[in-house]
Amino acid sequence: MLYELFTLSVNFSLLLFHVTFSQKCGEFKTDEGNEFKVSNGEPVQSHSKWPWMAALFSSQSGICFGTNNFCCSASIIGRRYVLTAAHCFPPYPGEERQNLHKNVHLRLGSFNYSSEDAIEPKLEKVTVHPDFSDETMLNDLAIIKLNEPLEFTANVRPICLYNSFGEEATNAKPTKAYIVGWGNLHEAEYDENGIVMGREPDENPEILREGHTEVRNPEECEKLIDKLDICLEGRLCSEIGHQNAEMGDSGGPLLSLSQNGTRWTQLGVTNIAALKKEDRVAILYTRVSDYCGWIEQNTRGEVICL
């Protein structure tokens, strides 16, 4: 009986934690009070807009192509966890994988990653998905664990991870979505895998940018990448348009507004560009909903898909 009461108490505590967490995730309010207006390719001007965004930097020069050794964008998914792409980390072999956290650092809490207002938490561990392939770029996810829990404020909040987008993506109508990151707006040079190898730097690379896109259904994605040796398993895609995911947007979130218009959810993690004769035809994202179990397991149940 005592064991049953203890189990009930623990389960209730976890339930209460998840309810509290779910009430806070995916919400923001700008300094101007306008919650959901999104520009297209313009710099963000409010610290409290997109408060789940984090910038990932390499501690070693020559690893990343961004200014100040900036590598990738990332998203806060819990008090101690940040989600990004596995390809944002150098392919260190064997035991060196255990020390990835020593080679990178994060800055968060500001649209300007060079700002004095930005927070730089200490890192405890980086977990790269065990099935990530740097050849196919499949299973392109990594979780960064922080040393200490974050204090959620107007400028620091988690993004919601939804578990139901798989069915929505099969609809014929494209899903309106948004991309956010410290991406470069200049034309890039890509390697054979669609990963950015370099480009002319932006004037203000430290400023976060936002843009619109549309997530295509699987049939449309197949047509976009026709005759390309690219697997769509575990991926979402968007067609190339005026504003696209760029260098530095890698690892950043593909976002959608909930049906009731009150909460943001992360649909994907920016993965690669699909190329045809060096021309990009689509941007691919790792589909978050396919990895909810892995995320929950590697955050010890702190982060769940809602």
Instruction: Locate the domains of the chain by residue range.
Output: 50-158+291-299, 160-289
Distance, CA of 67 to CA of 57 (rounded, Å):
9
* Other beta carbons within 10 Å of 26: 24
Strands 264-276 and 160-161 turn out to be: parallel
Contact 270, 258 (CB under 8 A): no
- Report which DSSP code applies to 110: S
CB-based contact 43:207 (threshold 8 Å): yes
Class of domain 160-289: mainly beta
Q: What is the pLDDT of residue 202?
A: 53
pLDDT of residue 283: 87
Residues 6 or more apart whose CB falls under 8 angstroms from that of 50 comprise 28, 44, 111, 180, 208, 210
Look at phi and psi of residue 283 and say left if phi exceeds 0, alpha if psi is from -120 to 50, else beta: beta
The per-residue pLDDT for 38 is: 54
Whole-number pLDDT of residue 8: 34
Cα–Cα distance for residue pair 296/53, rounded to 1 Å: 20
* pTM for this predicted structure: 0.83
CB-based contact 158:25 (threshold 8 Å): yes
296 contacts 305 by C-beta, under 8 angstroms? yes
According to DSSP, the β-strands at 279-287 and 160-161 are: unpaired
Task: Determine the pLDDT at residue 204.
Answer: 58
Residues 186 and 202: their CA atoms lie apart, in Å, by: 7
Fold equal for 50-158+291-299 and 160-289: yes
Which residue spans within the chain are E strands per DSSP?
42-43, 53-58, 70-78, 81-84, 104-108, 123-128, 142-146, 160-161, 175-181, 188-190, 196-199, 209-216, 235-239, 253-257, 264-276, 279-287
The residue with tokens 């040079």 is 189
Q: What are phi and psi of 174, to 5 degrees?
A: -60, 145
3-class secondary structure per residue, 192-227: CCCCEEEECCCCCCCECEEEEEEEECHHHHHHHCCC
- The count of other CB atoms within 10 Å of the CB of residue 48 is 18
**pLDDT score, position 76:** 98
CATH number attached to the domain at 50-158+291-299: 2.40.10.10
Tens of pLDDT, residue by residue, the chain (306 residues):
433 333 333 343 333 344 344 447 998 765 554 444 555 556 676 768 899 999 999 877 656 766 678 889 999 999 999 999 999 887 655 556 678 888 899 999 998 999 999 999 999 999 999 999 988 999 999 999 999 999 999 999 999 997 865 555 445 466 888 888 887 654 555 555 555 554 455 555 788 888 888 898 888 888 888 878 888 899 999 877 645 555 458 899 999 987 777 789 999 999 987 766 556 678 899 999 999 999 999 999 999 998
Question: Residue 185: what pLDDT?
Answer: 56
The per-residue DSSP string of 231-248 comes to --TTEEEEE--SS---TT
Tokens standing for 214? 């549309």
Count of beta carbons in the 10 Å neighbourhood of residue 94: 6
Residue tagged 């980086």 (tokens) = 126
